[in-house]
Amino acid sequence: MAIEHEVETTGLVGWIDRRFPLTSTWKKHVSEYYAPKNFNFWYFFGSLALLVLVNQIVTGIFLTMNYKPDATLAFSSVEYIMREVPWGWLIRYMHSTGASMFFVVVYLHMFRGLLYGSYRKPRELVWVFGCAIFLCLMAEAFFGYLLPWGQMSFWGAQVIVNLFSAIPFIGPDLSLWIRGDYVVSDVTLNRFFAFHVIAIPLVLIGLVVAHLVALHEVGSNNPDGIEIKAKKDPDGIPLDGIPFHPYYSVHDFMGVTVFLIIFAAIIFFAPEMGGYFLEANNFIPANPLQTPQEIAPVWYFTAFYAMLRATTDPFKIVLMIIVALLGLFALVRARGKWKLGLPVLAVLVVLAMAFTESKFWGVVVMGGAVISLFFLPWLDRSPVKSIRYRPFFHKVFYGIFVLAFLTLGFLGTKPPSPASTLIAQICALIYFAFFLGMPVWTRLGTFKQPPERVRFKPH
């Protein structure tokens, strides 16, 4: 028996319901959306990401009221917001701190999905939408980074845009098209401003809505990786489910309270976070004639930046050997001509690497590190979803992967050296080996049998 969503028929709400699905939408997605009753700490971060998104939109609107997207006025307008606009400093710090906290909660939200197999069937599309949100968020942060028009903003944008010039044939024209000029200039600032405040937020909001709709269509995952829709009572209500409201709305309110305390502490006591949230060089007006001693992106990009920087000519040779071995392995496993696609692709990639510069392959490695996440639902072949019921060595692999990613993030904040470059290369190989080896290692070992019902302890 399906759950029926009754609607109001009298009063103002009834008048609206006859013209707009207000009550039925509320019941379907909130008060009668049944979520697993064994959610834990890791399930705070989805709602926190939504909270920070709202914070970024609201504070961004107020900032644009006084910001001037003009190369001669941008920096001074930011200073005007900080010093002259009533509570402007608070709004600016809420926005800058919110940018970093957005990535904190999104990274933790994605890690939870990795732990409990939230990307597995039937939630593949939920995961793909989530990865698209992450990619969109990176673009939003990149476009917004130029707007203060400080030294690091200017030169960071210059370096990142110049990366596109490494693409064979179309690279120089593509980087020129992105900048709108031969160097980062007023034209670049204006188009980055348009992307940051209009284009990307519209796409981001659309993806968030699609993410939530897809999630509520298939239902939420849980730490046990059990589908609660498989066991329902005579009324069609999952036996292991509870209404999202009021149970998880109150649950999430507690998480929001703790988060806001931390958020406020950063804003009022350490808005720069030792230079990780706001770099010292960005308090200096952009000077096209003076390059900072060290140009590095904000902390949430440093892991991918470290991969880019680690792709040297010797490392390119290592990558060529690895690709060739993967092609040979695919050739050995091929049992018909129709399966020769991967070996042929490997040969083409090796030839392309031989005749192109390492800078281009650094861009490919950096982009591939993000794109790999999209394929996670089809790479993981484990018979169980949750890490709770996987072999111990699976947990070790997850730990090594996280350690490698954190190491890359740390190295990306430091000046390059032979030792750090070597470590970054090893960590980059571990990062990609985690994904490429998934079809093999996720099947191995002795798996525990998941329970028929979710494990839950009242608290």
Residues 390, 442: Cα–Cα separation, whole Å: 9
Which residue is listed with tokens 């608070």?
90
Residue 17 CB neighbour total at 10 angstroms: 18
Residue 314 CB neighbour total at 10 angstroms: 12
Could you give phi then psi for residue 123, rounded to 5 degrees? Answer: -110, 25
Q: Is 196 annotated as a binding residue?
A: yes
Identify the helix (H) or strand (E) that includes residue 35.
strand 34-36
Cβ within 8 Å of residue 199, ≥6 positions away: none
CB 148 within 8 A of CB 416: no
Distances (CA, A) of 313 to 133, 170, 288, 308, 442: 33, 22, 30, 12, 32
Which residue is listed with tokens 């985690």?
434
- For every residue of 398-448, DSSP letters joined together read HHHHHHHHHHHHHHTTS---HHHHHHHHHHHHHHHHHHHTHHHHTT-SPPP
3-state secondary structure 73-100: CHHHHHHHHHHCCCCHHHHHHHHHHHHH
Q: Is 95 annotated as a binding residue?
A: yes
Cβ contacts of 342-350, under 8 Å, gap ≥ 24: 349/323, 350/320, 350/323, 350/324
Residue 10 CB neighbour total at 10 angstroms: 8
Three-state SS at 243:
strand
Q: Is 5 annotated as a binding residue?
A: no
Q: Is 251 annotated as a binding residue?
A: no
Cite the DSSP H helix spans in 270-357: 302-310, 313-333, 341-354
Cβ within 8 Å of residue 303, ≥6 positions away: 369, 405, 406, 408, 409, 412
Supply the DSSP symbol for 335.
Answer: -
Kindly state the tokens that stand for 301: 């990009």
Kindly state the tokens that stand for 22: 């207000």
User: Binding site for heme b, residues?
Assistant: 95, 109, 196, 211
User: Binding site, residues?
Assistant: 95, 109, 196, 211, 216
User: Binding site for a ubiquinone, residues?
Assistant: 216
